Amino acid sequence: MDINYELYKVFYHVASTLSFSEASKKLFISQSAVSQSIKTLERKLDQTLFIRSTKRVQLTPEGEILLRHIEPAMHLIQRGETQLLDAASTGGQIRIGASDTICRYFLVPYLKKFHETFPNAHIKVVNQTSIKCVELLESGQVDLIVVNYPNSYLSNISSIKKIKHFHDVFIANQDFSNLQGRQITFQELAKHPILMLDKNSTTNEFLHRLFQQYQLDLVPEIELTSNDLLIDLAKIGLGIAFIPDYCLDEQSKDLFIVETQEKLPSRELVIAYNEQILTSKAAKEFLNLF
């Protein structure tokens, strides 16, 4: 079927903003031209792609199916444009996906060094959980991701570079001083309030699987999206927090590590990317820092 690329481009912007007026602004064309393009595309496909009302625009099921295919294609086209711009300048762009924790406690020095070496390069960091970062990489929205490993969602990613080993730790304040200086079992630990990251994280998946190995059910007291918040809650005695050891700093001096009889396996930070499409000069230079 011979359909002009511009029609799909208009569809993508309307579908991503759910607004004809916003799409017209992004495309620098009139709203009526946007509307006409959508009507033309719907006629050619013989499908209704949007439900229009006076207050909002909504995708039909057919429109949602089309968007799932168009969105990755648009990102690939944008990547190609970025590559051409890289070749014509000394700067370029790098898009990195990483969690707040990894950015704050690990990536900042590398971002600083990269910026000092390539001051004209544009750095874009997208903060998401390690699981969500894989989705960003697969859809072409980032060039590379820095995530926790093991990560069951990385099975389809072609290239993984291991860059740091770390251990997770249980931490608590003096409200749990009876646990200090001795090793406790997971079974005893499970009787205390556990604070941990939510179900959209590899850390949550990791700890649940670890408890299951000992036929124990883990029922957290609190699940959050931030390790910093977990540390803050541990400081005021709300429970025992489970965090990566590299998050411990001077601000954690009022906390102690709760030792367990069962050994906690080490984990790793890795950089994941698709080697076949990692064409940005800036992305390659950043990767070389590790």
Contact at 8 Å (CB) between 91 and 118?
yes
Buried b (16+ CB within 10 A) or exposed e, 143-173: bbbbbbbebebbeebeeeeebeebebbbbbb
Rounded to 5°, the CA angle 269-105-258 comes to 85
Task: Write the single-letter amino acid at 52.
Answer: R
> In this predicted model, what pLDDT tens digit does every residue of 27-55 receive, in sequence order?
999 999 999 999 999 999 999 999 988 77
Q: Classify 262 as helix, strand or coil.
A: coil
Q: Is 127 exposed, middle or buried (0-12, 13-18, 19+ CB in 10 A)?
A: middle
Is the entire prediction scored with pTM above 0.75?
A: no
Confidence of residue 173 (pLDDT cuts 50, 70, 90): very high
Helix (H) / strand (E) element for 179: namely none
Buried b (16+ CB within 10 A) or exposed e, 95-122: bbbbbbbbbbbbbeeebeebeeebeebe
> In this predicted model, what pLDDT tens digit does every residue of 239-277 receive, in sequence order?
999 999 999 887 778 899 999 999 999 999 999 998 877
Least confident of 95-109, 164-178, 249-263: 249-263
> In this predicted model, what pLDDT tens digit does every residue of 50-80 receive, in sequence order?
998 877 889 999 999 999 999 998 888 888 7
Tell me the average pLDDT across 151-180: 92
Chain centroid to CA 167: 21
Contact at 8 Å (CB) between 243 and 267?
no
pLDDT at 119: 86
